Structures are given as C-alpha cells and as structure tokens.
Amino acid sequence: MNPVELIRKKRNGGALAPEEISWLVGAYAKGELPDYQMSAFLMAVCFRGMTADETTAFVDIMLHSGKVIDLSSIPGRKVDKHSTGGVGDKVSLILAPMVAACGVPVPMISGRGLGHTGGTLDKLESIPGFRTDLTIDEYREVIRDIGLVMIGQTAEIAPADRRMYALRDVTATVESIPLIAGSIMSKKLAEGIDALVLDIKSGDGAFMKTYNDAVTLGRTLVGIGTAAGKDTLGMITAMDQPLGAAIGNWCEVEEAMDCLRGKNVVDLMEVTYALGGAMVYFGGKAASIAEGMALCRSAIWSGAAHEKFLQLVERQGGDIAYLNEPGRVPAPRHRIEVRATSSGFVAGCATMKLGVLAVELGAGRRKVDDVIDPTAGIVLAKKVGDHTEKGETLATISTNREDAVRRAAEVCSASITIVPERVALPPRVQALIDRDGVKPWTAPTYY
C-alpha cells in the first residue's frame, strides 16, 4: 500500500477500509512507517475524524498489535480503571492499591504524560528503581502474588499504542475521540480484565473541554468495552481545576502517599472513592457502588491501601526508603513562591495553562526523547473556593530549568483568578455512563 495515498484519503475526508488501517498501524508498530507519515495521518484524523466502522477497526488493530493477556487462571474478577487524562490526576496511585486492598485484583496498564496532562508511568518512575516494563510472565506473577500490578505498554502489550502515544504527545494530536478510544481500549482490553471503570474528564484541563464532548467520548469508550464483553462504566468528572494540589511527578507521588496515609484531599478523594466504589462493586466484593465506597474508605483508614502500595513498589523494584523519607529526593535548583496580588476568593484556574507550564518546567516532554525531571512541578496552596489574603502563597513552582524560571511565576499567577465574592463549587462527579446511557450521579448520603 502507498502511505501517501492513505494519508491523502483521510486528509480529504474519506473513510479507510479496515485493511488500510491495519496496514498503516501494523507498519508503524513494526517501525516500517516513519514518524513523519504517522504524524501526518494522526493530524488528518484529528481534523477529519473516523467513522464508527473505522473506529472499530482501529481499536481492534491497535489491540492485536500485541498480545492479549489471559488472566482467567487467577482467582477473582479483575477490574481496572483508566482516565482520559487530566492535570494533577494522581488517582491511579491511590485507587489501584485501595481497590486491591479490598480484595479485587487490579491489573493496570497506564501511559506516560500526554500533551499537557500527566501520566501514571512517569509518576511511578519518579520512585527510584520502579520498573514499569515488566515482561508478560512478570506481570502475571505480580498480579497473582499481590493482587496488583502497574505497568506500561511494552513491545509485547499494545506496542502500536506505545509508539503512537509517544508521537501524539509531541505532535498536538491527542484531542480526537477515535485516537483516544484506540489508545485507551487497546491497553485495557489487552490486560486480562473482566470489568473496567473509566474516568472521563471534562473541562479546561481535559482533552474534552465540554460536558457534551465528554459524554460523546464516554459513550464511545463504554460501547467498545461492552461490545468486547467487559462490564464497563464511565464517570464524567470535573477537570476545570487540577485534582488535588500537586502537578508534576514526584510531588504527585508525595500527595498520593499522604492520601494513602489518610489525608483527605477533598476533591481528589471524592473522585477516587467514587471510582473505587464502582471497581469494588464490579469486582463482586460489594452489593452497590455506595457499599464499595465504604469498603474503600476502610482500606484507607486501616492502612491496608498504604501497605499494598508499598508492597507493589518493592515488588516492582522501587526503593520504598524514598517514600518513607521524602527528604531523600534532591531539591530542585529553583523554588518560586507565587503570591496573591489581591485579597478575595479563588474563582477559577486556567488548568490547561498550568499543565503546559508543568511540561515547560520539565515535568513533561516537548520532544519524544526529552527526559522527565521528576522534581519539576507546581504545588497549589489555594484551590477554587479558597479565601486568600493579598501576599499569601497561591502556589510553589519547582524546576531545574533556567529558561523556564523567568516566565513561570507570571504564567502561574495569571492562571489563578481571584474575585471579591465567595464562589460556588461545581460537582466533581457529574454523571455515570453505562450500556443504557447517561445517568445522574448521586453521592451516597454519608459522603
């Protein structure tokens, strides 16, 4: 096949046949199609989209670019969660050990930072020694032994996504429903799960900026999961301000550790408990999502979730001394306090701008071969709804990049809006999507 003709066809709004998509994706996964041609194709898809048939073929080909793991010999219903991407989204670091501590096996294949959003793999790899590139045999052993495993795409599992993901990260080709669907569902359907919970982010810091677009993405993902025979539920959650306080890699691990030790970072834990409740329910350990949420809370308060995370880190080669003594991680060269220029209430946060700033500080990649600085990032001292006095700290910026220092405080300050009057907080979990459609979310009353 001629790749130029296929790119031209998509660029002109045509629909590709399954064998044409298969050839393009297959050639790219094998390293036989260069990055520049795949970039052009991805950009054409961003502008022109894909038909339902093309999307189905794309997901299937992405999935079968590697092995599909069978975990049926491991007891219990295996359940995972995936987020469509957000700023400060460290939910997986808390959720996966919390759900595993409730007795539900969690096999998780995650991604790296993507565009302005962070990635679970980069966060885990900020723990010295942590290996996210296990072989399939190692993956199987870890989930069998401790009920939890967290890895990335490999040469064996979802290899097409491994290459395409890295390319989309640096070519502004993330915001496309079929590309997101192929990327997420190829990883999730390869893992050996029985059920899947999707965190579909909506708002300025998400790839879907509006609620309606998030619903469209959610319906697509839930439809694919359901058609593949997996119990699949989506939750639309707010991404109009960073989740929790930390944006970066090591600082997000630290915040996740605080939550695992029992700190209630309210917005972060509200989303984590809702998703966790659904996973525990799907795992057959609770009769409802509400009951699953209660079990998740107990796993945090008993210390079982924290214990499970340490077990995972040790098992995958990470040095838990860094988690127990955070001072071991070297401080970045620059630490800048951003202070409020007026008194009032924080009314909004330009979340995507903060995500882009974190990338510029060194927490993400601008080119495929950029090396992440684990200590780069932003920690917010004030969130939407909080009161501040003029001169109080709004955020602390950390970086080792001389070139980023000058503009960073200005960009961060301009991203946070302060108004004189109190502001109402929007709901954090906005709706559920299952095979029957979109439903309102009502948080359990004890919440």
Q: Which of these is catalytic: 80, 161, 169, 240?
A: 161
Which window, 10-18, 179-187, 210-218, 267-275, contacts ligand URA (CB under 6 A)? 179-187
Residue with the shortest CB distance to ligand URA: 183
Write out the H or E segment, with its range, that includes residue 402: helix 402-415
Q: Which of residues 82-111 bind ligand URA (CB under 6 A)?
A: 84-85, 111
Measured from the CB atom, the residue of 114 and 312 that comes closer to ligand URA is: 114
Q: Minimum Å distance from CB 352 to ligand URA?
A: 14
Task: Check if 35 is active-site.
Answer: no
Interface with ligand URA (CB under 6 A), residue from 120, 183, 311, 399: 183
Is 66 a binder of ligand URA (CB under 6 A)? no
Q: Minimum Å distance from CB 82 to ligand URA?
A: 6
Is 196 a binder of ligand URA (CB under 6 A)? no
Measured from the CB atom, the residue of 228 and 347 that comes closer to ligand URA is: 228
Is 154 a binder of ligand URA (CB under 6 A)? no
Measured from the CB atom, the residue of 81 and 306 that comes closer to ligand URA is: 81
Measured from the CB atom, the residue of 154 and 399 that comes closer to ligand URA is: 154
Which window, 3-11, 49-57, 89-97, 177-185, contacts ligand URA (CB under 6 A)? 177-185
Within a 10 A sphere around the Cβ of 339, how many other Cβ atoms?
15
Task: Check if 161 is active-site.
Answer: yes
Is 184 a binder of ligand URA (CB under 6 A)? yes
Q: Minimum Å distance from CB 85 to ligand URA?
A: 4
Q: Which of these is catalytic: 78, 82, 188, 201?
A: 82
Full 3-state SS string of 338-371? EECCCCEEEEEECHHHHHHHHHHHHHCCCCCCCC
Is 241 a binder of ligand URA (CB under 6 A)? no
Within a 10 A sphere around the Cβ of 144, how many other Cβ atoms?
14
Measured from the CB atom, the residue of 65 and 183 that comes closer to ligand URA is: 183
By C-alpha distance, which of 195, 170, 167 is closest to 182? 167
Which window, 5-13, 57-65, 176-184, 224-232, contacts ligand URA (CB under 6 A)? 176-184
Q: How far apart are CA 447 and CA 445, in angstroms?
A: 5
Task: Check if 434 is active-site.
Answer: no
Is 180 a binder of ligand URA (CB under 6 A)? yes
**129: buried, middle or exposed (CB in 10 Å: 19+, 13-18, 0-12)?**
middle
Phi/psi-derived region of residue 31, left when phi > 0, alpha when psi is between -120 and 50, beta in every other case: left
Measured from the CB atom, the residue of 121 and 300 that comes closer to ligand URA is: 121
Could you tell me if 124 and 130 are in contact, meaning their C-beta atoms sit under 8 angstroms apart?
A: yes
Is 114 a binder of ligand URA (CB under 6 A)? yes
Q: How far apart are CA 338 and CA 341, in angstroms?
A: 9
By C-alpha distance, which of 203, 200, 204, 213 is closest to 432? 200
Is 198 a binder of ligand URA (CB under 6 A)? no
String of b and e for 213-230 (b: at least 16 CB within 10 Å)?
bbbebbbbbbbbbeebeb
Could you tell me if 260 and 97 are in contact, meaning their C-beta atoms sit under 8 angstroms apart?
A: yes
Q: Minimum Å distance from CB 260 to ligand URA?
A: 23
Measured from the CB atom, the residue of 193 and 340 that comes closer to ligand URA is: 193
Cross-strand bridge partners of residue 348: 417
The rounded Cα 204 to chain-centroid distance in angstroms is 15
> Could you tell me how many residues of this chain bind ligand URA (CB under 6 A)?
9
Is 50 a binder of ligand URA (CB under 6 A)? no
- Torsion over CA: 163, 166, 172, 175 (sign): positive
Which window, 20-28, 173-181, 382-390, 411-419, contacts ligand URA (CB under 6 A)? 173-181
Q: Which of these is catalytic: 110, 183, 202, 415?
A: 183
Q: Minimum Å distance from CB 188 to ligand URA?
A: 9
**54: buried, middle or exposed (CB in 10 Å: 19+, 13-18, 0-12)?**
buried
Q: Which of these is catalytic: 116, 187, 188, 365?
A: 187
Q: Which of these is catalytic: 10, 81, 168, 306?
A: 168
DSSP assignment string, 206-228: SSS-SHHHHHHHHHHHHHHHHHT
Could you tell me if 41 and 6 are in contact, meaning their C-beta atoms sit under 8 angstroms apart?
A: yes
Measured from the CB atom, the residue of 66 and 111 that comes closer to ligand URA is: 111
Q: How far apart are CA 120 and CA 196, in angstroms?
A: 17
In this structure, what DSSP letter does residue 251 have? Answer: H
Is 235 a binder of ligand URA (CB under 6 A)? no
Measured from the CB atom, the residue of 84 and 316 that comes closer to ligand URA is: 84
Binding site for ligand URA (CB under 6 A): 84-85, 111, 114, 174, 179-180, 183-184
Active-site residues, by number, are 82, 161, 168, 183, 187
